[in-house]
Structure 1
């Protein structure tokens, strides 16, 4: 994009904006209990949506609501199955527990100091049935 005269800043690892926020606001999916994006097509298999900040004129997209967040409120199978106990149990909160977490949104915040990025949360999530995830 720089070569075309537009600013292009990649948001890898949430350098500028939390990746869950970028994924939600671009309409890729909804924030879920595992604190990442749940998409209608791929469940939580996307892990993160880094995004690119740019001044290139693009068509606007809107957040989606396909019921995943509501489902996560009562499901919690990922939190129950997490071997490290990194996924927050209970209700979503507005508060950050640690200095490195972002506050100001209603969601679940996982303890990333405990998470070793094993795929257990992905393996148990009911939304990872790909084309069958719409049944939820």
Structure 2
């Protein structure tokens, strides 16, 4: 099992921020593996800084749950993601292993290639949330 922490980030239109790692095809939530001794919020803030060059608005993180699915980039593996809603502070700029980002309408993701976790759990979760939009 691949254990990660990830962010569900929505803009003012309710679209969800997704990223694609260099050398892969599937888009997924930004986030990654925890460092030893690192809390989820600290890990999430570090990953967003490393991957997207931006921070997390203090007090904006809210745990949404733990979700599992087949891993998008590791055949035969599963991923377990502790998911947080969060708002970003600063401009997005792809860094580290991130090749591209996009905003996807969870109601109509179109032909964007999605990781199984994103497609089967996170976009439906984004549609079900009625706590307001977590905007940039």
TM-score, structure 2 as length reference: 0.30
Instruction: Select the structure that is richer in helix.
Output: 1
* Structure with larger RCO (C-alpha < 8 A, sep 6+): 2
TM-score for both structures, normalised by structure 1: 0.30
> Which structure's residues are more often strand, by fraction?
2
